[in-house]
Amino acid sequence: MTTTMPTAPAPAQPAHRGSAGGGLMRRLNFGTGVLAGVALAAVAWLLSHSLLDSAGTFFQDQVATITFIGWVVGFLLGIGAFNGPINWFRGRDLTHDDELYLAGKDLGPRRYWKFCTDHKVVGVQYFVMTMIVLFAGGVLAMLIRIQLARPGDHFVNPQIYNAFIGMHGILMIVGLIVAVSGPFGNFIMPIMIGARDMAFPRLNALSFWLLVAAAVPLLAVFAVGGISDGWSTYAPLSVQDHVGMDAFAVGVTTFIISTTIAGVNMVTTFITMRTKGMKLDRVPIFTWGVTTSAALGLYAMPFFAVALTLLLSDRALGTSFYLSFGGGTDWLWENLFWLMGHPEVYVILLPAVGAVLEIATVFARKPLFGYNVVVGGMIGIVGLSTIVWAHHMFTTGWAPALNGPFMLTTELISIPTGVVFLALLGTIWQGRLWTRLPLLYVFGFVWNFIIGGVTGIYLSDVPVDNQMHGTMFVVAHFHYVFVGSVLFGALGAVAFWFPKMTGKYLDERMGRVAFWLVFAGVQVTFISMFISGLMGMQRRVSSYAHAMATTNFISTIGAFVIMAGMIIEAYTIVTSWRSGREAGRNPWRSKTLEWQVPTPVPLENFEVPPVVTSDPYGYGEAAPPLEAPAGHPDATPVTVGAAAKEELQS
């Protein structure tokens, strides 16, 4: 279908000053960002060398911190992220032409390399970036499993192994936080609610490019000595760690700024950008998943930013937040970290759950089971997840009197989670199942999430946790949640929305091969890892007792099967994107709005805002007759022809 741009005259615009449509932005892109980032990092390095006392105890950490901050600021300057605030300061508000230029009008593929405000471009950018980050984390997982294939430090020394562990952790956490919300929250959610873009398009672009800026110090951690104490970087070890920790802290803090801005944007979009008739009980459930996650992230992530800033301060300014000989305490780190750390699990999980529920309705051809209950469950999860953090601290000696209450709140959170899970089963139950690739991932999610969820309830129990804490049992548990559930939800979302984002089907046959490999690999790897944990194997160790050799070897084999599946998945994504089968506008005959607009989706999504009169899950019900928009027989994407009517009635 062809896309038509609006031909009507734009409303009154601020007067032009300087070159129209973008001005300086015309010359800025990813390349200028990298140049400016490197340049400012170099300047920061030189200045800190000449101005700071090179004999001081904290000199190295000061230089590293300033240099990495220089990179981040320089990169953002160079890509044009600060042009908006500067122009606002100068009283130069954007003209409509400026906005269209920033949204990438007539820029073609170049717009993917620019500070582009179109939510669909940002969604695709996040999609590619997520794959890169997850791939890097996956390679590290393979290196870890090579080390653990047999006992004895036969592959790398423990110091390098520690860096593998910590960086695998943080890259996977970053990758999974953005895995669903980034690509699909940005690309799909605004169209789902009938909006033309996100509430704050420039903040949207800013959150993506902050992620790119953050990736550089994170990857540079290896170059400057690695980190030694896992991604949770417990103090006081992290205070004493190499310069790599400075890079880590700057990178993660930058990422947190990105998620905070994205959280503000998503919540505002959901609340204020819904089209006429899109009441809160009519929005597709996926948007609830993304929004509850964003709201929770907005609350939780700043704790980690504060924890890391205080860590940098201990390392570079000589404060004592975490050092007991100066009056600090590691419990401060643990509290701040887990105040972020537990909610963050649900920040990662909720969008994936939303995607799985959305897919289930379409492929079971049934309304969502218990819509209001699911929304209530999601909100309940958000509320409860803010008061469970200390279940990670049962064995630390912090507030033993609170162990009981935290056990209770943690067990309580399984109730809303269970309710949402039952609603998923209720949606599939007695449906007319159309077992295409996206639905396979829903089934995989159901299987894995049961295992990941139930083992989590074991661990919330204080006596059991005293036994299991810090073992591979815990690692297997959260990998069933993160890989088995979240990654499956994300891959299901890829299979489901790929036709809308690219116009092509994700190849079904190759996709199935990938699905089964990843699914089987997850079972082999992590069931075996449960056993290693039950035998008492500690996590994050580079070697282990001979008794655990068999289960570890099996886990390594399983991990390589997962990797094989993921490589096939990546190959399938690339080849399908290039030369896959054309999918058309609505290949799954879904009723949500994103499938009613043409593919590729036009710049501002809807020529005319749609008006919604029912929830999106009326499968099997006859649709009321549609009217063509007066005077716009073919201008609008949400029409309306015999074919569309038939689809809606199916």
Nearer to Cu ion, 334 or 615 (CB): 334
Chain residues 204-223 in contact with another protein, contact rule CB under 8 A: none
Nearer to Cu ion, 481 or 563 (CB): 481
- Residue nearest Cu ion (C-beta atom): 342
> Should residue 538 be labelled a site residue for another protein when binding is judged by CB under 8 A?
no
Smallest separation (angstroms) from Cu ion to the CB of 391: 6
C-alpha to C-alpha distance for 437 and 442, rounded to whole angstroms: 9
Q: Structure tokens of 21? A: 């449509």
Q: Which does 158 bind (CB under 5 to 8 A by kind): another protein, Cu ion, none?
A: none
> Should residue 589 be labelled a site residue for another protein when binding is judged by CB under 8 A?
no
Rounded to whole angstroms, what are the CA distances from 21 to 17, 121, 326?
A: 10, 18, 56
Chain residues 180-199 in contact with another protein, contact rule CB under 8 A: 196, 199
Short-list 111, 136, 107, CA closest to 122: 111
Q: Give the count of residues interacting with another protein (CB under 8 A).
A: 88
> Should residue 240 be labelled a site residue for another protein when binding is judged by CB under 8 A?
no
Chain residues 322-381 in contact with another protein, contact rule CB under 8 A: 323-329, 331-332, 335-336, 339
Q: How many other β-carbons are positioned within 10 Å of the β-carbon of residue 613? A: 10
> Should residue 623 be labelled a site residue for another protein when binding is judged by CB under 8 A?
yes
Nearer to another protein, 415 or 626 (CB): 626
Q: Which does 199 bind (CB under 5 to 8 A by kind): another protein, Cu ion, none?
A: another protein
C-alpha to C-alpha distance for 310 and 319, rounded to whole angstroms: 8
Q: How large is the angle between the packed helices 158-179 and 244-272, nearest 10 degrees?
A: 10
> Should residue 146 be labelled a site residue for another protein when binding is judged by CB under 8 A?
no
Q: What would the DSSP string read from start to end of 368-404?
A: PTTHHHHHHHHHHHHHHGGG-GGGG-TTTTS-GGGHH
> Should residue 170 be labelled a site residue for another protein when binding is judged by CB under 8 A?
no
The answer to whether residues 284 and 493 touch, using CB atoms and an 8 Å cutoff, is: no
The answer to whether residues 196 and 367 touch, using CB atoms and an 8 Å cutoff, is: no
- Answer for which of 2, 51, 55, 90 binds another protein (CB under 8 A) is 90
Smallest separation (angstroms) from another protein to the CB of 87: 10
Nearer to Cu ion, 274 or 342 (CB): 342
Smallest separation (angstroms) from Cu ion to the CB of 389: 7
Q: Which does 153 bind (CB under 5 to 8 A by kind): another protein, Cu ion, none?
A: none
Q: Which does 342 bind (CB under 5 to 8 A by kind): another protein, Cu ion, none?
A: Cu ion
Chain residues 264-303 in contact with another protein, contact rule CB under 8 A: 264-265, 267-268, 271-273, 276-277, 282, 298-299, 302-303
Short-list 144, 103, 137, CA closest to 120: 103
Nearer to another protein, 302 or 444 (CB): 302
Report the interface residues with Cu ion, using CB under 5 A: 342
Q: Which long-range contacts (CB under 8 A, 24 or more apart) does 582-588 make?
A: 582/503, 582/504, 582/505, 583/499, 583/503, 583/504, 583/505, 584/499, 585/1, 586/647, 587/499, 587/505, 588/362, 588/363, 588/436, 588/438, 588/496, 588/499
> Should residue 642 be labelled a site residue for another protein when binding is judged by CB under 8 A?
no
Q: How many other β-carbons are positioned within 10 Å of the β-carbon of residue 611? A: 11
